[in-house]
Structure 1
């Protein structure tokens, strides 16, 4: 087995086995056992139908009316069993699929969200395209493909063994005269079925192998196009204000052009594969009849036996040709496995980066926030910010200023423990309740109540408290829509969103509050009111505020500044609070 093949199967089992070892395993195994039994039952019924065809057509050839009606009664029983088996096999298969998909979605989401891997992925070369598609669509395709293909393979193996025994017994030897001698090939039809399937399998693989890469690319380009549409939808107002419709159309059509070009390549390859597989399938209809015809015309078998031989040959050949018939599905399934494997490796790389970072953020027993030996860098390794040892005491209200691009927000991320590049030793008070308010607030899907309560759950914040907080930040006009579900990130203006974030701080009452340009979208009077509100409502809270507005200095008693000199790294220093302006 080639190294790449061994690695693929290793990756596949790494995706497969966690579910079958989880707490869900016993119900899943129970369902799987029943489904496998139904799959084997299908083979048993196929064998019974094979013998039935012999008896039924024999009764017609012999003009045996009693046998004819008896066989029809037997057929009714077999058909009923077949219908019941098919319906319940599909029903239980869907049940197993959704349980497996639910567990796998929860498991992969957990890996993605743990240690903020979802964020770190975007900062490094380990980033993967369209994680939303990999979690939603690829998991579904992996579960469906794995279950369908594995059950199909199992059924074909059992079917092959069952009908090979029948065909072996029905196959007469073939005598080939050669140079005055007779060469006898025993059980000729059995060997003919094997050779026929091997030739078809080899040709199918040679023709269809490029479909693996094409299917992988098709999934990627479809997801890129869908992401472009979603991104446009989320920024419709900005596009409309810019009058950027021609540019957006060009960009979206460019993404769709990638979909089309790969689709044409898929079409071309599938056309070639279709000629082979459809031609192969059509030839298999008459091929066994041609092989069995000499026995029939020699009157060594009757019509029923002829049909039984033909059907047995067809079943053996179909089972041996499973690779041929399932090839397109296999290529799509392999592309899905590769995408999920790549996503998991990206998550693992992001977590490894989190563990190897030299920015050490850890709790300490003291109540102070200590920032020591700061040396923050960009992803390419270029040093962005350096600083002396700094300390923030409980109750301080610290203002951080500096020119744009100097590293203020990078320091904000480092304090939050999500920036991996550089060196620093950051100690935060143990068991302190911390809240970070970024410049662009995040509003989850759902009700306004859920948006105000975030990151807490809406049931943890009473409607009365949410109402009072909204009114305190001048959003009282939204109170009637508190339990209304809307896309609030689109409905609310940037200023309203920032005021809603302030309401979250009022509700959360954190011990430490970090604000990164959290009021930049507000007019001066409203910004002053928001800081006055935080000052009054959170008297024991320690602040660290990043702002370009010198007027907010009045609400702070300490001042850090990033001093920038040309292309040299910025220097983080503490200056007298009076210099905040």
Structure 2
């Protein structure tokens, strides 16, 4: 799945994670300070239009960001000279990361835009003098420019990502077909090469982009939320808490992630087994089309009983998982308002600041809740991964899982029955 596309995948992903942490820490503890001393500072009132990209502080960071990406790509291009997929697996991944960060920056501009727009709306509703229709139209025109840029970037990103994922699927397909003689005797071999690689790539497209976006959103919006926390000096039950929004967003997201991880701990294994029992049942029926000794009523009944048993177990485990999931999501809808009640009652924020806080808190919490929002998809991906991993055991000469061994024994018995049939 991975070594067919990425160069030395374990080392590649570990180095990517380490390099990310190092560059982020280096920025906040070293290079950001150097930029401030050199005059690359953000204005007190951040721009809420496309001029945000031309602020000296941002241009300085973009240069640092690009250099970090190019260094990582150059090192791996040197280490993996013989990898035929290097242009897509390394440089394609870096391009996706860069464009995703650009998309998050657009979200920051939109968040900046919310304060003047909703403050203007609040002042207009309060009938303060000097507010005209032109003020609203001007801000709406700025929003349209930001929205069209966001739409353009999203469309191109989706187009490139689709090609990137299909290249990955091509690499897997080439690897499995090159080892077909070792794999064709495994249960559902054709399905695993065709359908499972397709599902793996399409599922990973959704999860991978969401993960990168979540990480980038955290890197960008955590400092913003930290700054906005200055407006909230007190929260219910706890009382005064420095940087309350920052810490409560982290606490609430970790709590929800642990809750759903505990509630859904059995689901990946059940989904994995479900693919196995369905494939075994389907395969026996296919053999029965050409061989009268296969798909006998007793055998088919036994195989379908396995399907039924696994589905009923899944229904039960999904029942309490969904109870935990939907209860948390309903509470999540009111959690921020609950935290801000003392601040709202004390009239310490305007409508525009409320919109900024709501957006920043939502961005941070949704990013930290990546596992919550993606858990069912992750479960599906884990089951596909287990299925393909077992498939690759035949290539590596490792032992097959028990269910695959049982299938091969059944195949051998079916072959013996066919060979002993009178002619």
TM-score computed with the length of structure 2 as normaliser = 0.68
Alignment partner of 2:283 out of 218, 227, 232 = 227
Question: 1:83 aligns to what?
Answer: 151
Aligned-partner SS, 1:326:
helix
Measured after TM superposition, the shift of residue 135 of structure 1 is 1.5
Question: 1:140 aligns to what?
Answer: 198
**Inter-CA distance 175–86: structure 2 relative to 1 (3 Å threshold):** closer
The gaps in structure 2 that reach 5 residues or longer are 10-79, 125-130, 400-407, 410-417
2:342 pairs with 1:294: yes
Separation in 1, partners of 2:257, 2:338? 21
Larger radius of gyration: 1
**Inter-CA distance 96–177: structure 2 relative to 1 (3 Å threshold):** closer
Measured after TM superposition, the shift of residue 177 of structure 1 is 11
2:401 pairs with 1:345: no
Where in structure 2 are the equivalents of 1:533-548 lying within 5 Å?
Answer: none
Question: 2:271 aligns to what?
Answer: 215
2:87 pairs with 1:26: yes
Alignment partner of 1:266 out of 309, 314, 318 = 314
Separation in 2, partners of 1:314, 1:258? 43
Measured after TM superposition, the shift of residue 260 of structure 1 is 2.9
**Inter-CA distance 66–177: structure 2 relative to 1 (3 Å threshold):** closer
Question: 1:17 aligns to what?
Answer: 6
Deviations 1:546-576 (A, max 9, x none): xxxxxxxxxxxxxxxxxxxxxxxxxxxxxxx
Question: 2:73 aligns to what?
Answer: none
Aligned-partner SS, 2:116:
helix
Question: 2:106 aligns to what?
Answer: 45
Question: 1:187 aligns to what?
Answer: 243
Question: 2:60 aligns to what?
Answer: none
**Inter-CA distance 57–317: structure 2 relative to 1 (3 Å threshold):** same
Measured after TM superposition, the shift of residue 250 of structure 1 is 5.8
Measured after TM superposition, the shift of residue 350 of structure 1 is 7.7
Alignment partner of 1:98 out of 142, 148, 166 = 166
Question: 1:448 aligns to what?
Answer: none
Q: Say what the alpha-carbon RMSD is for the aligned residues.
A: 3.2
**Inter-CA distance 145–177: structure 2 relative to 1 (3 Å threshold):** closer
Separation in 2, partners of 1:131, 1:293? 58
Measured after TM superposition, the shift of residue 229 of structure 1 is 2.8
Aligned length in residues: 325
Measured after TM superposition, the shift of residue 255 of structure 1 is 2.8
Measured after TM superposition, the shift of residue 306 of structure 1 is 1.1
Question: 2:224 aligns to what?
Answer: 166
Measured after TM superposition, the shift of residue 305 of structure 1 is 0.7
Deviations 1:272-299 (A, max 9, x none): 2222222222222221122123222212
2:305 pairs with 1:257: yes
Aligned-partner SS, 1:23:
coil
Measured after TM superposition, the shift of residue 251 of structure 1 is 4.2
Question: 2:353 aligns to what?
Answer: 305
Alignment partner of 2:137 out of 69, 89, 92 = 69
Measured after TM superposition, the shift of residue 66 of structure 1 is 2.6
Deviations 1:509-547 (A, max 9, x none): xxxxxxxxxxx99xxxxxxxxxxxxxxxxxxxxxxxxxx
Q: Which has the higher helix share?
A: 2
Question: 2:51 aligns to what?
Answer: none
Deviations 1:415-445 (A, max 9, x none): xxxxxxxxxxxxxxxxxxxxxxxx99xxxxx
Measured after TM superposition, the shift of residue 15 of structure 1 is 6.2
**Inter-CA distance 291–177: structure 2 relative to 1 (3 Å threshold):** closer
Separation in 1, partners of 2:345, 2:383? 50
Separation in 1, partners of 2:160, 2:304? 38
The question of whether the paired residues in 1 share the 8 Å contact of 2:6 and 2:85 is answered with: no
Aligned-partner SS, 2:397:
helix
Higher RCO, Cα 8 Å, sep 6+: 2
2:388 pairs with 1:320: no
